[in-house]
Structure 1
Amino acid sequence: MKYFPDLKVAVPPVELIDLSALKPLEPLELSKATPESATSEQSATCHLDANQPDQRWLMVEEFLQATPLEPNSRRLYKRELQRFFQWSDRPLAAMTPALLAAYCTWLETTPAPRTGKPLARNSINVAITALKRFFAWLGTTHPRHCATNPTTEIKWLKAEVTPPSPLSTAALACLWGTLPSLGITQYRDTLLVHLLCQGLRVSEIVALNLANWDGAQLWLPATKNQLAKNQLAKNQPLRSMVLHQASRVALEHYLDWRRQHLPESLQPDSPLVISLHVAHSGKRLSYIGIYQAIERLGQLASQRYRTIVASSAHPSPNDEQTQQQLANLHPDQLRHMHRTL
């Protein structure tokens, strides 16, 4: 090592390198394990230590416990937040608007494993809502983890509203013919079909108590949207619905069956429609419970229609379509039947 007395510093010897002997750099192959690794912004920030517990999920669990949510919303939020944190391995403090935008693009373009198609816009909007609510809560409750809300600029997608196709006359007739064979749920599910066919929403049916029925009409409680437009309607009946004669008969038959077969005392605050599942018998039938009941009814009606077609001497070219309508039955199809009944 040479010294320069005037500078009083030591300079190491220079070693010449033959550049022709160096191997060319190989192109970097991005990992496909995490979808976020395909984004250009990933290298600009830190990532989680794989050997440490994921503190992000502790925050998610705290958010779900601290936020008043309906059971169905809680389940959806948990699923969407889990999807996001599987997609990205960034710490909460490293989340950026560009990352959230990249994630929304990924949702719009990446086929879902179950369907092989990208998520529908309504499903993506659920994911956006879950992220917006989580990061808004995080910025308020734990600002050191979220100094700036990264979801502020994320916009909901304009949903494509596709009205459900109305049931054919043959499908509706088969549906009514299937109800008497349902056993213990016959009277309840018959009432559900009547209420849906008169235009009631599933959420409205879930909220009904016996006090909402006066023997001729239903007094429907205000929805959240209606309350937002008319604060004076809070905790007051907002509108009434006069039931058709057949619907009134179905409701009274259902209540008579409950009085005779269930060990319950019918009170004004008792739910109008109850679950008959062993684990939840007598409790209010949930939103998901109504969907499952109608889907089960559709499956049974589809099987019944298949049997009818097999024994028919004059099959119809629309038989396959009718069978598919029944097999894929959901409450919204029945709710829109009131326009054609």
Structure 2
Amino acid sequence: MTATTDTGVGITPPATRPTVPWRRRLPYLLLLPATVTVLALVGYPVLSAVLTSFRQSDLAELVSGETVWNGLGNYTAVLSDPAFWLSTVRTLLFTAACVSTSVLGGLLVALLMRHVHRVVRGVLQVSLVLAWAMPMLAATTVFQWMFDQNYGILNKTLVQLGFPSFAGYSWFSTGWSTMAVIMVLIAWQSIPFVAFTLYAGILGVPGELYEAASLDGASSWQAFRSVTWTALRPLINIVTFLSLLWDFKVFTQVWAIRQGGPDGGSTTLPVLQFIKGIATSHFGVAAAVSVLMTLMLVAITWQNLRLMLRAEEAE
């Protein structure tokens, strides 16, 4: 008598689909509220501006209530306008000057805070915080008074120092001099952020590196170049990138000082957009300017990110 057993030949268990542990899904679920919020707050205005740039969107359309699509007409009008190209060049030069002045000034102030006495450092830091905390319009009003033609303290000081030609000198008579004043104002407001950021980076540099450089006979400049600059380079890249974005979009100070004057000599792209949209009620043209500005910022962002990634890979 032999016993037989069922070996189950030919029967395969049902295939089971691999499951993703919930812990791997949790980060995406946590990001979901922020993603939805950003899309709602940023995506909708951007989409609205893009759609408006393809519409006539002037007073006639608003009064009639009819949507008039004109294709690329607004972009053709903007790109064929010499004022747009002049404003673009002026904005790029103004941004480069503001960023260079702010980053260089902030670096010098950060190095100064590292070497001065703690009492002087405390006074300097309080002064920087006060300058940083001052509202834009209040700071703009102060600078307008300082550079006033008849009552400005700058002209009076220069005359007292032996420069009589500055008596009654108008700092806002030309577009370039007006932009220079605005650049000083922007740098004055931006240097505190750059200085505190770079000073925090300087504090993170180990003192042993400076001691090793000193033992190797390195001069102050060589120690700065080999130790301080190397440690601060990532932070300098970040503050430069942020300053580019912020200074490219400056509007309040430019408009408050001379409304883009004299004779459009200080009109930047944000001011041109405001003039097209509010002063002349050509909202479609203003939307086209804003879309072109966004594309420029995207190009600047992409290029800066590439440079930052290359710098990290090189290190």
Q: TM-score range by the shorter chain?
A: under 0.3
Task: Say which structure is richer in strand.
Answer: 1
TM-score of the pair, normalised by structure 2: 0.24
TM-score of the pair, normalised by structure 1: 0.22
